[in-house]
Structure 1
Amino acid sequence: MPPWSGVDTIVDKKVMREAAEAYLKYLWSSEGQRLIAKHYFRPSLAAILQESRGEFPELKLPTVKQTAGDWANAQKKHFSDGGIFDQIYSK
């Protein structure tokens, strides 16, 4: 799914909250998810993903428990000083 973020203070200051909320509502609708799939982003709604099953291979992702034990260990492993993020970012 395409990334989206909004900063409340900016959205409110620019009087764009209504448009931003309408965009998000559409993005998560069935119609919006179909449009997302049409443009080669993996839809988040299970029913739409099922409709597009030939386009997107099944993902077999490990759980946090399988890879790090728990969220505290995952945070430490990936984001502590010298962690995996630092190692990747420094290359």
Structure 2
Amino acid sequence: MSGWEIATLALLVGGMVPALVLVARGGPVDRLVGLELASAVGALTLLVMIQGDGQSSYLIVPLVLVLLGFAGTLVYTRLLGPKP
């Protein structure tokens, strides 16, 4: 196992597990925080995996994940807001 694979595993265990717990068990605001955490950890995990592979052409994938995570947060925040 290389150092990049160990770093990827550490990010997945150390970041995704708390995010999934927040998404599964928290209230609406906690779920929003879990969604943001999962998006950030997912992008970082992909960046570490790409660095380990040495394929810079895959860098578009984490960029798209960050943009979609931001858009998802805006939609979720809109749904949490007051109803007219």
TM-score by length of 1: 0.31
Q: Quick check: which one's helix share is greater?
A: 2
TM-score normalised by length of structure 2:
0.32
Query: With CA pairs under 8 Å and 6+ residues apart, which has the higher RCO, 1 or 2?
Result: 2
Q: Radius of gyration: which is bigger?
A: 1
